[in-house]
Amino acid sequence: MMDHWIIAPVVIPAMLAPLIVLWMRYDLVTQRVASILGMSALLVLAIVLMVSASTHPPEVYRLGDWEPPYGIVLVLDRLSALMLLLTSILGLVIVLYAIGSGWDKRGWHFHSLMQFQMMGINGAFLTGDAFNLFVFFEVLLIASYGLMIHGGGRARLKSGVQYVVYNLAGSTLFLFALGTIYSVAGTLNMADLAVKVAQMPADETALIKVGAALLMLVFAVKAALVPFQFWLPATYTNAPGPVAALFAIMTKVGVYAIVRVYTLIFPISGTTGTLAHDILLPAAMVTLVIGMVGILGARSLGRVVAYSVIGSVGTMMLAFSQFTQGATSAGLYYMVHSTLVAAALFLIADLVRERRGRWGLSLSDAPKIAQHGLIAALFFAGAIAMAGMPPLSGFLGKLMILDATRGQWGLWAAVLITSLIAIVGFGRAGSQVFWRSYAVEAEEDERPQPSKDASSPALAFTATGILLAGSVALTVLAGPASNWLQGTAAQLFTPAQYTDAVLAGAEARAQEAARIGAQDHGHMEVIEEMRSEDGHATDTQTETGHDAPAAAH
Amino acid sequence: MELLVASAIGVLTAAGIYMILRLRSFPVVVGMSLLSYAVNVFLFATGRLVINQPPILRDGVTSYTDPIPQALVLTAIVISFGMTAVVVMLALGAFIEAGNDRIDLETEEDGQ
């Protein structure tokens, strides 16, 4: 029974989104209710799936009941369950914020695009098929294109075009990578790939290494790793506030894909060797430095937050690039923390922008804004968490990463020095926006006014508060959380669990199907054919390397 | 034939990359299309180039072409077609809003 719930995080938003467009088009209130209900359902579902994933080995959902590796599978393991939970929390909070701040009124179809976005993100986290991963990437990207330009405006459309073009180039690269891998391995099912790649003779891995490196570039574009981070600052600064907050999970889709693919298919002990480590470590180091220096150099609050996202991606990739269990669980903790806090900071920046009128987010002298003290306090908490100062979860996350990379002095120096830079950068931005305003006297008619769209500022503040409360909860419950994440990392580093769940039993089930279908001669024939072809392909492949993959399917 | 297909993919890719590095949105859109053509042909060729064979597995058939890349390329064509439409609309919107079709942002503070 549990099996069928695995596809629900994809199906629910996929059904809800068209309903919102077709039935509730002109009624914002029903749209809002439907959107909140959908997001809440996703949240409940994610919690249930997470409980199930923590007590069971990876669970597999075969779409259309096609046997892997022929059909597409969805796989729920601890990592995907964690990402689903994170996505659904973020989704619910962002819908609440968008309603409270009135952002959903400023253009068409905000709520249905949000649902499509959830469908794409959830699908990308669940799928166990590399080509299906590409398809879900496209689903989440096309929804994000719509959300990115929500509300319109010159700067937003311009940076929207940049964002789209950058990601289209990334998608094309993704297809090249998948084609290369398919031409060598003859399969795109991740579990099957893991098995096939592991069996490859060591002297014939040149092409598969090219494929692995190309895939790394694609995921680096999504995760905004140097040198592919250029799209991020302009996109995140110009996107509507709640959308920018949602994009905090989008970079994590890239991070997730890197962790998944390079622990499962191309593990460090496997055929491709330390390729992933060798690429990731320097890239993560430079990303970290550029992100944190960017915080110091940015001239608007939006860019401060955007660069802090780049910096945090660098920090977590430093941990993931170690490819050890301890560092991976530390990296996962930091990832959860930084997603929540980055989203909170984007919402805070939006609260400021909504109230600051013509001054926008620029770090220049501007008069005091409405609800000044509250917003300043929220920013203070968010900045502390993001920069990694005690007592919030950023400090614990960085501590865990440092602990897991003991003895690597260069890495320690990078993390600690950039943290200092981040503190200075956030301090500068915060004091300019919030403290300098006491010194500025505005004319009465020039005083910044809160935007008229806001339906319920209290709801907007609550949404922001929930995210920061998430950071606090992550700090208080750091013990259980990190135990759970260690279990997740352990599962990631025994890929046999994953491949067994997907592939084991396929043979037995095929025989069963053949027995049932014995009356139907044609059906049995096809199954027999597929099985004998598969066996044949594996044989020839080990003999002749990559000349035979065409026969594999 | 391998040489012909390989060089076609190479030329298309090179032309596409050159075009997407331009600063106006029209050449960029054309470049994206060229790139997607290149990748489609490339995907098609990943099942090895076979002529005049059915993409079917059946008893007694010894030579056939790999059907999976054909299915993959169909998906890729549909997606790239849709994406091209989106980027054209977006570029048009940006052109109408801004009055020019430059891809780059004018200044750092443009977003404010």
> The complex's ipTM?
0.92
Instruction: Supply the angle between the helices A393-404 and A301-320 in degrees, to the nearest 10.
Output: 30
State whether B110 and A158 contact (CB < 8 Å). Answer: yes
* Chain A residues within an 8 Å CB radius of B6: none
What pLDDT, on a 0 to 100 scale, did the predictor assign at position B78? 93
Token pair recorded at residue B31: 């470049």
What pLDDT, on a 0 to 100 scale, did the predictor assign at position A448? 67
pLDDT band at B47 (very low <50, low <70, confident <90, very high): confident
Token pair recorded at residue B17: 């990359």
3-state SS class at B102: strand
Asked if B36 reaches chain A (Cβ–Cβ under 8 Å), the answer is yes
Least confident of A169-178, A217-226, B34-43, B93-102: B93-102
3-state SS class at A76: strand
* Chain A residues within an 8 Å CB radius of B43: 175, 178-179
* Chain B residues within an 8 Å CB radius of A551: 66
What pLDDT, on a 0 to 100 scale, did the predictor assign at position A390? 87
Least confident of A316-320, A452-456, A525-529, B97-101: A525-529
What is the average per-residue pLDDT within A101-118?
92
* Selected residue of B79, B80, B100 to mutate for chain A interface (largest A Cβ count, 10 A): B79
3-state SS class at A129: strand
State whether A172 and B103 contact (CB < 8 Å). Answer: no
pLDDT band at A152 (very low <50, low <70, confident <90, very high): confident
Select from B39, B50, B69 the Cβ nearest to the Cβ of A182: B69
What pLDDT, on a 0 to 100 scale, did the predictor assign at position A376? 93
What is the average per-residue pLDDT within A117-144?
95
3-state SS class at A390: coil
Q: How far is B78 from chain A (nearest CA, A)?
A: 11
Kindly provide the b/e burial profile for residues A506-538, where b requires at least 16 CB atoms within 10 angstroms of the residue's own CB. beeebeeebeeeeeeeeebebeeeebeebeebb
CB A71 within 8 A of CB A124: no
What is the average per-residue pLDDT within A55-77?
89
Q: How far apart are CA A533 and CA A11, in angstroms?
A: 34
Q: How far apart are CA A502 and CA A147, in angstroms?
A: 35
Asked if B2 reaches chain A (Cβ–Cβ under 8 Å), the answer is no
3-state SS class at B10: helix
| Residue A281 pLDDT greater than 90, yes or no | yes
CB A129 within 8 A of CB A73: yes
* Chain B residues within an 8 Å CB radius of A169: 20, 32, 35
DSSP-derived letter for residue A433 is I
Q: Which residue has the higher pLDDT, B112 or B8?
A: B8
Give the phi and the psi of residue A61 in degrees, each rounded to 5. Answer: -115, 120
User: Cis omega before residue A68 (within 30°)?
Assistant: no
Q: How far is B9 from chain A (nearest CA, A)?
A: 11
Interface of B with A in 59-98 (CB under 8 A): 59, 65-69, 72, 75-76, 79-80, 82-83, 86-87, 90-91, 93-94, 97-98
Asked if B5 reaches chain A (Cβ–Cβ under 8 Å), the answer is no
Asked if A235 reaches chain B (Cβ–Cβ under 8 Å), the answer is no
pLDDT band at B112 (very low <50, low <70, confident <90, very high): very low
pLDDT band at A540 (very low <50, low <70, confident <90, very high): very low
| Residue A489 pLDDT greater than 60, yes or no | yes
What is the average per-residue pLDDT within A274-280?
89
* Selected residue of A72, A113, A172 to mutate for chain B interface (largest B Cβ count, 10 A): A172
Q: Percent helix, strand and coil across chain A, each rounded to 5?
A: 80, 0, 20
| Residue A550 pLDDT greater than 50, yes or no | no
| Residue A17 pLDDT greater than 90, yes or no | yes
Select from B69, B90, B111 the Cβ nearest to the Cβ of A237: B111
Q: Which residue has the higher pLDDT, A67 or A285?
A: A285
What is the average per-residue pLDDT within A135-152?
92
- Where are chain B's structural domains? 2-51+64-103
* Chain B residues within an 8 Å CB radius of A160: 90, 94
Percentage of chain A exceeding pLDDT 90: 68
Interface of A with B in 338-377 (CB under 8 A): 360-362
pTM score above 0.80: yes
Q: Minimal Cα distance from B35: which residue of A? A: A172
| Residue A8 pLDDT greater than 70, yes or no | yes
Token pair 């059915």: residue: B54
Strand partners, A60: A75
What pLDDT, on a 0 to 100 scale, did the predictor assign at position A217? 94
Q: How far apart are CA A127 and CA A117, in angstroms?
A: 15
What pLDDT, on a 0 to 100 scale, did the predictor assign at position A517? 66
Least confident of A83-87, A117-121, A138-142, B61-65: B61-65
3-state SS class at A255: helix
State whether B46 and A168 contact (CB < 8 Å). Answer: no
Select from A152, A176, A182 the Cβ nearest to the Cβ of B39: A176
Q: How far is B4 from chain A (nearest CA, A)?
A: 18
State whether A149 and B20 contact (CB < 8 Å). Answer: no
pLDDT tens by residue, A353-389? 988 877 888 888 888 888 889 999 999 999 999 999 8
What pLDDT, on a 0 to 100 scale, did the predictor assign at position A518? 60
Asked if A145 reaches chain B (Cβ–Cβ under 8 Å), the answer is yes
Q: How far is A278 from chain B (nearest CA, A)?
A: 27
What is the average per-residue pLDDT within A142-146?
93
What is the average per-residue pLDDT within A165-180?
94
CB A426 within 8 A of CB A387: yes
Q: How far apart are CA A290 and CA A367, in angstroms?
A: 31
CB A162 within 8 A of CB A235: yes
What pLDDT, on a 0 to 100 scale, did the predictor assign at position B111? 44
Q: Minimal Cα distance from B101: which residue of A? A: A158
Distant-in-sequence, close-in-space partners of A230: CB < 8 Å, separation ≥ 6: A166
What is the average per-residue pLDDT within A136-151?
93
| Residue B14 pLDDT greater than 50, yes or no | yes
pLDDT tens by residue, A211-254? 999 999 999 999 999 889 989 999 999 999 999 999 999 999 99
What Cα–Cα distance (Å) separates residue A373 from each residue in A13, A363, A466? 38, 18, 18
Q: How far apart are CA A317 and CA A311, in angstroms?
A: 10
pLDDT tens by residue, A18-50? 999 999 888 899 999 999 999 999 999 999 999
Q: What is the dihedral of CA A237, A243, A248, A250, to 10 degrees?
A: -110
Q: How far apart are CA A455 and CA A53, in angstroms?
A: 39
| Residue A525 pLDDT greater than 90, yes or no | no
Please give the mean pLDDT across all residues of chain A: 88
Q: How many CB pairs under 8 A join A and B?
A: 131
Asked if A51 reaches chain B (Cβ–Cβ under 8 Å), the answer is no
pLDDT band at A538 (very low <50, low <70, confident <90, very high): very low
Q: Tell me the pairing of strands A73-76 and A59-62.
A: antiparallel
Check: CATH 1.10.287.3510 for B2-51+64-103? yes
State whether B105 and A153 contact (CB < 8 Å). Answer: no
pLDDT band at A84 (very low <50, low <70, confident <90, very high): very high
CB A129 within 8 A of CB A72: yes
- Give helix then strand counts, H and E, for chain B: 3, 0
Q: Minimal Cα distance from A166: which residue of B? A: B20
pLDDT tens by residue, A414-459? 999 999 999 999 999 999 999 888 888 766 666 666 677 777 889 9
Q: How far is B43 from chain A (nearest CA, A)?
A: 5
DSSP of A147-191, one letter per residue?
A: HHTTT--HHHHHHHHHHHHHHHHHHHHHHHHHHHHHHHHS--BHH
